[in-house]
Structure 1
Amino acid sequence: MPPEAVLLESRAMRDSVMGRTEVLDKVKALVLLPDGVHATTEGVADYFVVHKEAVRKLVQRHRTELNANGLRVLRGSDLQEFQRDNVSLWGRGYPQAKTNLTLYTRRTILNIAMLLRDSEVARAVRTYLLDIEERGRVGVPRQDGNGPTVESLDHRLTHVESSLAGIGPVLRDLAPVIGRISVRLDRLDRRLDATDRVVCAMSLRLSDLAEDVRELRYGPRPLPRPHRHPGSRARRRDQG
């Protein structure tokens, strides 16, 4: 089995097992916010049995990596909306941040477990990860003759949950862009309508101008002769 330090020191090794978020619940029950996706700094500190200041300092040192694995800091309207939704789900007093709120997904918490040195829970998570990695490396089968194991299905479900948690922030960030595109498309539609009206008016004017040019060149069109009844000449001869 590779030494535990490989996860502490190698980001490539951490990235290779980042999808194993089911390990967190196998080591210890993980308490999430009412949305079932995120935890606060206090919740992460309680899970690893460390002071929340230790979690904050680790976040400061590894913010880029943790951001890549789902760490979010809510402020302003995003924070107010998130707190309002969680208050309705919580159903009782909910601790609310005054200016910002740091949120951790399962993937972020697993990332912290591979970085946090002074925590027995984090060490147990790393050991579990290395055991799984070792079994996979030596080719221990993960399925029996009846199909996927419960562990395999649990891992797939957790991976789907983690992917959905990552899609949410992306869609939220895209919403203003989509709104601006929609406004620009509406403006373009109005411009096209105005252009169509101008083109129709120009077409009518060109048609009138073409008729004026023809009259200048060839003279006015002759008026049509009145229609006479065939018997009118005979009556005139008889009268003469």
Structure 2
Amino acid sequence: MPSEVALLESRTLRADHVGRVDVLEKVRALRLLPDGTHLSTDGVARYFEVPTEAVNSVVKRHRDELHSNGLRTLKGDELQAFEMANLAISENGRDRSYPQGRAHLRLYTRRTVLNIAMLLRDSEVARCVRAYLLDTEETARTVTANDPRYDGLEHRVSDLEGSMAHIGPALQELGPVLRRMSARLESMDRRLEAVDVRLAGVDRRLDAANRVVGAMSIRLTDLSEDVADIQRRLPQPPDPRRRRRR
């Protein structure tokens, strides 16, 4: 079984163990961002109970290795889209503590955090993670030696966990598309509401026009009756045929 020192010094050994992200939660709970996939630098520092400078120092020294295990740095439009999505998730969950308004943001996956645990020397939590990782490996080797059915199982589990680490970025890329679709649907809803308002206005105008037409019809009827009554009251002209007979 490799020693803790060998794990700290050998990137190859770390690569063999970086898929065992399950040990992180067994040592201590991770405080993930609202997307449920990533941690910020502050979150990683709180997990290992070290200053953020210690985490930044590890990132600076082993940037390539950490990037290969999921470390990302967001800037510009990508950062804005990520913050809008996670701020919305945070507000919907009534947790308004999600930080925003920064120039850049580093995102750490579980694999990245486990990678840092195998690099961070001055952290008791990191030591516990490494000890748990090595003890679990020794137990797994003993079981595998006694039962050949478990041969290669750990490797397959590591591959599965590595594949799951890519789900988060894929969902993050899907987020802006869903937000655009939602915005378009909301715009359509607003337009339909405006059309409904206009149709209601047209209905009111038609009702008013019908009332006016009805009132005019009544008045015309009254006038027709008045004219008939006046005609009946006027003296009738003499019949010219009666004059001829005389």
TM-score of the aligned structures, taking structure 2 as reference length: 0.60
Structure 2 residue 91 is the aligned partner of structure 1 residue 94: no
Q: 1:166 to 1:94 in 2, by over 3 A?
A: closer
Aligned ranges 1:68-107 → 2 under 5 Å: 68-91=68-91, 92-107=96-111
Aligned ranges 1:104-115 → 2 under 5 Å: 104-115=108-119
- Aligned partners of 2:169, 2:21: CA distance in 1, in Å? 14
Secondary structure of 2:143 counterpart: coil
Counterpart residue type for residue 61 of structure 2: R
Describe the superposition over 1:20-52 as per-residue Cα deviations: whole angstroms up to 9, x where unpaired. Answer: 001100000011001000000000000000000
- Compute the RMSD of aligned alpha carbons: 3.0
- Aligned partners of 1:142, 1:58: CA distance in 2, in Å? 39
- Aligned partners of 1:17, 1:93: CA distance in 2, in Å? 34
* Most deviating of 157-166 and 30-39: 157-166
Q: Do the aligned residues in 2 keep the contact of 1:18 with 1:107 (CA within 8 Å)?
A: yes
Q: 1:97 to 1:128 in 2, by over 3 A?
A: farther
Counterpart residue type for residue 67 of structure 1: H
Extract structure 1 runs of 4+ deviating beyond 6 A. Answer: 154-157
Aligned ranges 1:168-179 → 2 under 5 Å: none
Q: Percent identity?
A: 52
More helix, by proportion: 2
**Residue number in structure 1 paired with 2:44:** 44
**Residue number in structure 2 paired with 1:117:** 121
Secondary structure of 1:139 counterpart: helix
* Most deviating of 1-10 and 159-168: 159-168
Per the TM alignment, residue 163 of structure 1 is displaced from its structure 2 partner at its CA by 3.5
Q: Where in structure 2 are there 5+ consecutive unaligned residues? A: 178-246
- Aligned partners of 1:39, 1:79: CA distance in 2, in Å? 14
TM-score of the aligned structures, taking structure 1 as reference length: 0.62
- Aligned partners of 2:20, 2:169: CA distance in 1, in Å? 15
- Aligned partners of 1:59, 1:122: CA distance in 2, in Å? 15
